Structure 1
């Protein structure tokens, strides 16, 4: 049953995507790949700028440019995905300027089409082979059907962030890592991000349980309740959840947890690459005790330890 919290604070479990296209050539034929990125991460879409090349970087980095005083790296998504682009394309590529972890990155696309509003229930985890060749599913977080029975792929652009070295998974030597007992449940559809968080929680002494989305997260909670009963709130010390996930997003998941008296005392921390203030406020409205931007180890350890200590005292 949908609660008042679900309706008023979490909305309709929907997201808005910028629909963009990348052309690819296979067996002499040209196909249009359809992709999406969360509107919350997009700052603007610009014409292809004049770039300064950088030596010694991965070949998918086209270069850098200055946008109103900010130096921005530009990633060729076709190269990153291993897509063969048709020669002599008569198009003017665009660059989507997106913000991850408070860092701006440009992504080269062939066309930015429109904005789509899609329910997370209609987005499935990536576990398929595309109709025109195989695309590495580690680079995809979800798929959804659109008109004409075509498939839109939601890219795991956090993998680019990690490859560029913007994550800081190592803690500074002067910060003491506290040791806790008990379990931690982590939710993230990105295998890359899930591993980083799992490693961090394990360093803090937690036994880590993983889920790929909010729906699976609720199933894991039910399994734990079947084992521990009402003591589950003492055994499970914290939940760390991504926001963007297929089937059920992090906000919707949190609202469901906080509406359930069996689990509502367990603290929830959101750990997201979306760094806008609106998302942080939505996290609070959904019942989260914290909102972190992926991934700075120093901040992560400090904030998680503080929230767990508070939970243990209460």
Structure 2
């Protein structure tokens, strides 16, 4: 297991082009699940947990890792399953995203696989709106379900989505009625967070689920307008990890397109702890913002809409 943990630690410092390294794990059955390795800071056998009175029902306790308290969430319970029973044989995925660190209790860990984002598909449309998946893929002929851990954590510890009155007042003096911001994110929670924040300052938002859909939408808009689209769509906000086409690849394609290259691109990612600033510059993005801080996002939108 020490080699496995070292492998996780090493891979969280890597950034590829339209590639994903997926940590495969199990909950209460042989069904494989996945999480982006970039979100994982550490994998360890479940340590002793301290129960906290009054905590959320899915929080199994607090783990003290090198003197730092980490909330440990039962990922099986949080996604509608039975509690993980045997803590002695269980593992904790210590994750870092959305500017927070938390642990997820899982039944077991398998391995890391390196695959192309084109092999990652959105959840089937018939799955409804209440599932906890951002994507599915096949590994060794088995269907792997990628869990939306952002949604899980947001339900347990909802973030503050309120834009301050100061930012709202500044935006009120701007004419935003003819402008649209394109938002690309595979997480329904993240899309709606951005939409609510931007709508509160009067910004029109077009939502898409992944990078490929975003590129198609932009290209269709360019064809409709006969060229440069920035008079209507001056800004795109994109997640980095998305099915079919990641945010890095999407940004590079937008910046290389003669009709789209003037569109400003803000990469808005939960991968704040392991983000590679050099990669943003390489693909030509205009700014990186770690999820989720509504004032910071709204301020950036105000800036790039009129730059």
Task: Give the 3-state SS of the residue equivalent to 1:126 in structure 2.
Answer: coil
Cα deviation, residue 231, structure 1: 4.5
Q: Distance in 1 between matches of 2:306 and 2:247?
A: 23
Query: How has the CA–CA distance of structure 1 residues 22 and 277 changed in structure 2, closer, same or farther, with 3 Å as cutoff?
Result: closer
Pick one of 171, 189, 207 that aligns with 2:186.
189
The match for 2:156 is 164
Task: Give the 3-state SS of the residue equivalent to 2:229 in structure 1.
Answer: helix
Matches within 5 A, 1:138-287: 138-147=131-140, 149-165=141-157, 167-175=159-167, 176-178=169-171, 179=174, 180-181=176-177, 182-287=179-284
Q: Distance in 2 between matches of 1:76 and 1:135?
A: 23
Q: Distance in 2 between matches of 1:85 and 1:145?
A: 26
The match for 2:23 is 18
Q: Distance in 2 between matches of 1:64 and 1:202?
A: 37
Q: Distance in 2 between matches of 1:308 and 1:275?
A: 24
Cα deviation, residue 22, structure 1: 1.6
Query: How has the CA–CA distance of structure 1 residues 177 and 151 changed in structure 2, closer, same or farther, with 3 Å as cutoff?
Result: farther
Pick one of 83, 96, 99 that aligns with 2:96.
99
Note if 1:44 corresponds to 2:49. no
Note if 1:75 corresponds to 2:73. yes
Q: Distance in 1 between matches of 2:276 and 2:125?
A: 30
Query: How has the CA–CA distance of structure 1 residues 231 and 112 changed in structure 2, closer, same or farther, with 3 Å as cutoff?
Result: same
Deviates more, 1:165-174 or 1:287-296: 165-174
Structure 2: stretches of 5+ with no match in the other structure: 1-14
Deviates more, 1:174-183 or 1:215-224: 174-183
Give the structure-1-normalised TM-score.
0.85
Q: Distance in 2 between matches of 1:80 and 1:39?
A: 20
Alignment length (residue pairs)? 288
Query: How has the CA–CA distance of structure 1 residues 73 and 91 changed in structure 2, closer, same or farther, with 3 Å as cutoff?
Result: closer
Cα deviation, residue 128, structure 1: 6.4
Query: How has the CA–CA distance of structure 1 residues 122 and 137 changed in structure 2, closer, same or farther, with 3 Å as cutoff?
Result: farther
Deviates more, 1:192-201 or 1:169-178: 169-178
Task: Give the 3-state SS of the residue equivalent to 1:232 in structure 2.
Answer: coil
Query: How has the CA–CA distance of structure 1 residues 22 and 286 changed in structure 2, closer, same or farther, with 3 Å as cutoff?
Result: same
Query: How has the CA–CA distance of structure 1 residues 174 and 183 changed in structure 2, closer, same or farther, with 3 Å as cutoff?
Result: closer
Q: Distance in 1 between matches of 2:56 and 2:116?
A: 35
Cα deviation, residue 80, structure 1: 0.8
The match for 1:6 is none
Note if 1:125 corresponds to 2:117. no
Give the structure-2-normalised TM-score.
0.86
The match for 1:58 is 56
